[in-house]
């Protein structure tokens, strides 16, 4: 009797689980405005209808229509204030660029940057800063904003290394007080205790700047320590350590660095929204902070860098589609820029906006154009570069192939750049286009989720991005000679 009862109970449980799964499949597309992903137990064997053919998606990606300078309303004084280029020069640069784009069309291979700005000046300030490296009194700074695709410094570390080898500089740049990626990030060794993390992903009521996070002391005492990495020669030692914190009063800080051969004690007391405690030495390789009387004290993190050359800060935020940046506080961002100005902001998003069954991303295009405009308001002195989604594969008829949604989102991202008037780089094309993720997985360059890169794969993409930027720089240098 007991065996029969147990079997009946098991059968009832299985039937209840089946009923729940069936019920989850019939959920609405959204609940209270929140998108809901349905559970489909037969998804691997179900034949899905594709409302838009792959050929039509491919055809969209071949279109490249540079903005017609005559159709753009330009306020002469405002335009010259931001670009330092007169209107005649803009017209000439625009004509030269159209010759290039007309002969090549949309860049399906990710070889070059597609610049949709008026007069092809989208990276003018960044390249001008590169020419003044060593003369600015600060390093040229790049903010690399992304999602889990660049978490742990994948891709960004090799891009940073290439830029620093070309233009000088050392150090990993900005490091948040704490990170979920710290355990597998090979470019820095860091530990922190006594902090609570606030993130724009989970709490949009606070005021944030680029990192999208800040850290608050739980009690009167907290610690933070770091040690540089020897993964790249450019990371082994730096000349400047910067601790970045918000306004505070009466917090005691003790810093020991370089094997505790030198110690410093300070009372942090400042009404400014953002502050930085700076230590400049010939060599800095490690250090540890102890904070006392610190309950409620807020910090963003530290920066390890030189005071010249190139700095590339990795602002990866897991689960971020890019849309959260519409919640950035302009005043807070400008205060942050006063102590840490940026010359280029790179936007790498898309994975968290993409849905396998979605082929219309007009909603994403519209909101991301607003995000770009908002970032330009928050950081008016920085150029912006939008990077496309990478390839991503799923299994169809027993074979891994590119998701059609990737092509649809890629087209939408190119339209974001065009509508916002900023440069665009086709990372999908740089990987090799359709089904390139399969090849990356086979080579060990990507994980078997057919979505995320390994460090080896990140190195390949970083090399392509570096080459595209340097090719664009050559165009700027040549057109500058032509217009003068």
Per-residue pLDDT 10s for the chain (484 aa) are 456 667 778 787 888 887 777 776 666 655 655 555 556 666 555 555 544 556 666 666 655 554 444 444 344 444 445 555 555 665 666 666 665 555 455 566 668 999 999 878 899 999 999 999 989 999 999 999 999 999 999 999 999 999 999 999 999 999 999 988 888 899 999 999 999 999 999 988 899 999 999 999 999 999 999 999 999 999 999 999 999 999 999 999 999 998 878 899 999 999 999 999 999 999 999 999 999 999 999 999 999 999 999 999 999 999 999 999 999 999 999 999 999 999 999 999 999 999 988 999 999 999 999 999 999 999 999 999 999 999 999 988 889 999 999 999 999 999 999 999 999 999 999 999 999 999 999 999 999 999 999 999 999 999 999 999 999 999 888 877 776 6
- Please give the structure tokens belonging to residue 189: 């060794």
Residue 30: enclosing H or E segment and its boundaries?
strand 30-31
HSE of 342, CA atoms in CB hemisphere, 13 A: 31
Q: Return the exposure string of 275-301: e unless at least 16 CB atoms fall within 10 Å of the residue's CB, then b.
A: bbbeeeeeebbbbbbbbbbbeebbbbb
Contact 253, 266 (CB under 8 A): yes
Going by their DSSP bridges, the two strands 140-146 and 310-316 should be labelled as: parallel
Specify the pLDDT at position 481: 75
Specify the pLDDT at position 106: 57
Q: Name 233's Cβ contacts closer than 8 Å, sequence gap at least 6.
A: none
**Global pTM value:** 0.84
Q: Dihedrals φ, ψ of 113, to 5°?
A: -85, 135
Handedness of CA 73, 77, 78, 84 (dihedral sign): positive
Specify the pLDDT at position 3: 62
């Amino acid at each position: 009797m007991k065996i029969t009862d147990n079997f009946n109970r098991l059968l009832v449980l299985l039937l209840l689980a089946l009923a729940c799964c069936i019920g989850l499949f019939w959920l609405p597309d959204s609940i209270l405005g929140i998108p809901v992903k349905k559970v489909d137990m037969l998804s691997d064997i179900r034949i899905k209808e594709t409302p838009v053919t792959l050929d039509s998606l491919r055809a969209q990606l071949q279109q490249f229509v540079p903005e017609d300078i005559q159709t753009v309303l330009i306020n002469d004084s405002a335009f010259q204030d931001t670009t330092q280029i007169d209107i005649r020069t803009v017209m000439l640069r625009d004509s030269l660029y159209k010759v290039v784009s007309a002969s090549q069309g949309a860049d399906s291979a990710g070889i070059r940057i597609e610049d949709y700005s008026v007069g092809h000046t989208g990276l003018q300030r960044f390249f001008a800063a590169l020419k003044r490296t060593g003369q600015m009194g600060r390093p040229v700074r790049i903010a690399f904003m992304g999602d889990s695709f660049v978490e742990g410094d994948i891709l960004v570390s090799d891009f940073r290394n290439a830029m620093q080898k070309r233009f000088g500089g050392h150090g990993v740049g900005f490091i948040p007080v704490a990170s979920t990626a710290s355990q597998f990030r090979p470019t820095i060794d860091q530990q922190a205790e006594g902090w609570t993390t606030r993130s724009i992903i989970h709490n949009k009521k606070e005021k944030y700047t680029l990192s999208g996070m800040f850290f608050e002391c739980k009690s009167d005492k907290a610690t933070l320590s770091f040690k540089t990495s020897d993964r790249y020669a450019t990371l082994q030692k730096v000349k400047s350590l910067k601790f970045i914190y918000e306004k505070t009063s009466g917090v005691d800080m003790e810093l020991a660095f370089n094997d505790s051969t030198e110690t410093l004690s300070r009372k942090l007391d400042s009404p400014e929204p953002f502050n930085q405690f700076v230590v400049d030495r010939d060599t800095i390789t490690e250090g540890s902070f102890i904070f006392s009387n610190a309950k409620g004290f807020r910090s963003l993190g530290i920066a390890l860098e030189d005071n010249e050359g190139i700095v590339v800060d990795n602002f990866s935020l897991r689960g971020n589609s890019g849309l959260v940046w519409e919640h950035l506080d302009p005043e807070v961002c400008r205060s942050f820029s006063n102590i840490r100005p940026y010359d280029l902001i790179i936007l790498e998003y898309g994975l968290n906006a993409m849905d396998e069954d979605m082929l219309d991303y007009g909603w994403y295009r519209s909101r991301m154009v607003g995000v770009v405009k908002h970032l330009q308001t928050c950081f008016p002195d920085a150029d912006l570069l939008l990077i496309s989604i990478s390839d991503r594969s799923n299994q169809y008829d027993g074979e891994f192939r590119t998701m059609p949604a990737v092509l649809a989102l890629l087209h939408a991202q190119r339209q974001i750049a065009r509508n916002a008037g900023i440069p665009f780089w086709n990372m999908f094309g740089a990987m090799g286009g359709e089904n390139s993720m399969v090849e990356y997985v086979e080579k060990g360059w990507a994980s078997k989720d057919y979505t995320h890169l390994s460090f080896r794969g990140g190195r390949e993409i970083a090399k392509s991005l570096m080459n595209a930027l340097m090719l664009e720089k050559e165009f700027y240098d040549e057109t500058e000679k032509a217009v003068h």
